């Protein structure tokens, strides 16, 4: 049977969704791990230093490491990867001297865990610079604006990459990425579409983001991941930012994001106001925050009844 657990410092939690760990066949190993400040079960020379040999990333006392990690980490940050697939995302991480992410969530709902959650990955510094110390991260496969020919800058796609096929929108995934999916026959379709045009369009942190939605399989695995992370790291509460007056989750930067305990987006912590960190928009205008919020709230209620 395939694996369905995520792991941190020797602890494992089954999440009921397909997971491939870094040390398994077909897995991806984070190329650029770092030590978290204040955690003491590793060589401090691994904190904010260039990437070192894999053998140097040793966790000394697993029980102490777990206790310290549960105190330190209180956020799961959601990203889109602006990639065709998780395989593509991993190529980008490997080409960088510092980038990484604990998890990649592929189009087909497969979750790849790239390293023990004890380690820090450089995924979202936040405007305050402390964003990676307090968080674990998931990069969800979605091309965002790059799927629209008109908005594409990075890949300069010539045609919109989502096409209507027999009345349903579908991502036209190039062969070289399609054959790397766990199921090469998987058809990536957005979980929701907007009117005739299919894509969503909203302004986030001052910029209009036009993108197609994530897949149904990605939402299902993401909800399972949030529950699993909460079980492993209880300070990551099963909640998302919410504006009670507007009765919705804001899409851009929130107030005092460093204090938030729960699941939030890259755009919630980083609007580019902090100096060095760039302005961010992910997980973007198509992401269904309402669905995630309701699913997590339902979990809380079920747990309380137990
Ligand atoms: Zn991001």
Enter the DSSP assignment of 81: -
Q: Give distance in angstroms: CA of 61 to centre of ligand 1.
A: 31
**pLDDT-wise least confident of 15-24, 78-87, 187-196, 293-302:** 293-302
Q: Give distance in angstroms: CA of 108 to centre of ligand 1.
A: 20
- CATH number for the domain formed by residue range(s) 5-142+220-305: 3.40.80.10
pLDDT at 303: 65
pLDDT at 299: 86
Asked whether 242 and 248 are in contact (CB, 8 A), the reply is yes
Q: Between 289-305 and 216-232, two packed helices, what is the crossing angle to 10 degrees?
A: 40
Q: Give distance in angstroms: CA of 47 to centre of ligand 1.
A: 21
Q: Give distance in angstroms: CA of 148 to centre of ligand 1.
A: 19
- With 70 as the cut, is the pLDDT of residue 1 above it? no
Angle at 173 between CA 161 and CA 287, to 5 degrees: 65
Q: Give distance in angstroms: CA of 77 to centre of ligand 1.
A: 8
Mean pLDDT of 240-267: 97
Distance CA 135, CA 234 (A): 12
Q: Give distance in angstroms: CA of 211 to centre of ligand 1.
A: 15
Q: Give distance in angstroms: CA of 165 to centre of ligand 1.
A: 30
pLDDT at 32: 96
Give the pLDDT confidence of 83-115 residue by residue, as tens digits. 999 999 999 999 999 999 999 999 999 999 999
Question: Considering all CA atoms of the chain, what is the largest pairwise distance in Å, rounded to the nearest integer?
Answer: 57
- With 90 as the cut, is the pLDDT of residue 203 above it? yes
Domain with CATH 3.40.80.10 in the chain: 5-142+220-305
Give the pLDDT confidence of 257-293 residue by residue, as tens digits. 999 999 999 999 999 987 778 999 999 999 999 999 9
pLDDT at 2: 79
Enter the DSSP assignment of 214: P
Mean pLDDT of 231-256: 97
Mean pLDDT of 195-219: 97
Give the pLDDT confidence of 29-46 residue by residue, as tens digits. 999 999 999 899 999 999
Q: Give distance in angstroms: CA of 124 to centre of ligand 1.
A: 6
Q: Give distance in angstroms: CA of 38 to centre of ligand 1.
A: 24
pTM of the complete model beyond 0.95: yes
């Amino acid at each position: 049977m395939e694996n369905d657990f995520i792991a941190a410092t020797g602890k494992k939690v089954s999440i009921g969704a397909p997971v491939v760990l870094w040390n398994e066949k077909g897995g991806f190993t984070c190329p650029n791990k770092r030590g978290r400040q204040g955690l003491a079960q590793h060589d401090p020379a691994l904190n904010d230093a260039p990437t070192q040999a894999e053998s140097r990333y040793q966790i000394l006392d697993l029980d102490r490491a777990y206790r310290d990690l549960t105190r330190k980490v209180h956020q799961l940050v959601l990203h889109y990867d602006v990639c065709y697939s998780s395989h593509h995302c991993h190529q980008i991480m490997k080409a960088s001297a510092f980038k990484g992410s604990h998890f990649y969530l592929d189009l087909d709902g497969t979750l790849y865990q790239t390293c023990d959650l004890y380690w820090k990955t450089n995924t979202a510094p936040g405007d305050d610079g402390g964003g990676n110390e307090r968080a674990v991260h998931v990069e969800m496969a979605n091309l965002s604006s790059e799927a629209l020919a008109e908005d594409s800058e990075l890949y300069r796609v010539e045609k919109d990459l989502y096409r209507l096929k027999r009345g349903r929108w579908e991502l036209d995934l190039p062969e070289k990425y399609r054959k790397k999916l766990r199921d090469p026959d998987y058809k990536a379709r957005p979980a929701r579409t907007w009117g005739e045009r299919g894509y969503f369009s909203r302004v986030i942190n001052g910029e209009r983001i036009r993108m197609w939605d994530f897949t149904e399989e990605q939402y299902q695995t993401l909800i399972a991941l949030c529950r699993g992370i909460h079980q492993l790291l209880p300070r990551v509460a099963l909640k998302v930012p919410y504006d009670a007056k507007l009765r919705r989750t804001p899409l851009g930067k929130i107030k005092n994001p460093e204090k938030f305990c729960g699941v939030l987006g890259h755009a919630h912590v980083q609007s580019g106001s902090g100096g060095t960190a760039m302005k961010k928009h992910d997980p973007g205008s198509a992401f269904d925050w309402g669905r995630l919020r309701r699913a997590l709230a339902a979990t809380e209620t079920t747990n309380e009844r137990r």
